[in-house]
Amino acid sequence: MFSGGPVTPSLIRLPNCRREPQPRMPFIIATDRNGNRHEVEALIGRSVMELLRADGLPIEALCGGQGACATCHCYIDPTWQSKLAPATQDELDLLGILDTIRASSRLTCQIPFSDSLDGLTLTIAPEG
């Protein structure tokens, strides 16, 4: 969990340690519905929805990631929006039924995590 402190450096060196420093895991910074920030370890190739759920964040994902329920709705930080592949028309249509839609809205099940998304920052949208 990430609670607002400084972000972990990419490599940690301990004095008198003979092992090579290990690169850190890629991560997502997610703000939950209570305003708490979490650093979520991320595996390449999993969807952002799967990663948030695996960390215990309250993403219902009722359709299991099929793009049919909109219960994985989040708001993407403005600095990251241009780094994502554009939403498909089906995703936009589903987002369009939500009262909580914003310009930054995305369905996290439709975002495959990749190296280029290391540090992706988002906020979980309200239920509804």
Q: Is 95 helix (H, G, I), strand (E, B) or coil?
A: helix
Q: Which residue has the CB atom at the shortest distance from ligand FES? A: 109
Q: Which of 73, 63, 92 is nearest to 30 (CA)?
A: 73
31 binds ligand FES (CB under 6 A): no
Is residue 127 involved in binding ligand FES (CB under 6 A)?
A: no
Binding residues for ligand FES, total number by CB under 6 A = 13
57 makes contact with ligand FES (CB under 6 A): no
Q: What's the min distance (Å) between Cβ of 12 and ligand FES?
A: 35
If binding is defined by CB under 6 A, does position 112 make contact with ligand FES?
no
Closest C-alpha to 104, from 128, 127, 122, 85: 122
Q: Cα 61 to the chain's mean position, in Å?
A: 14
CB of 92 to ligand FES, least distance (A): 12
Is 51 a binding residue for ligand FES by CB under 6 A? The answer is no
Beta strands in 22-100 (DSSP E): 27-31, 37-41, 73-76
Say whether 127 sits in a helix, a strand or coil.
Answer: coil
Query: Applying CB under 6 A, which residues contact ligand FES?
Result: 49, 61-63, 65, 67-72, 107, 109
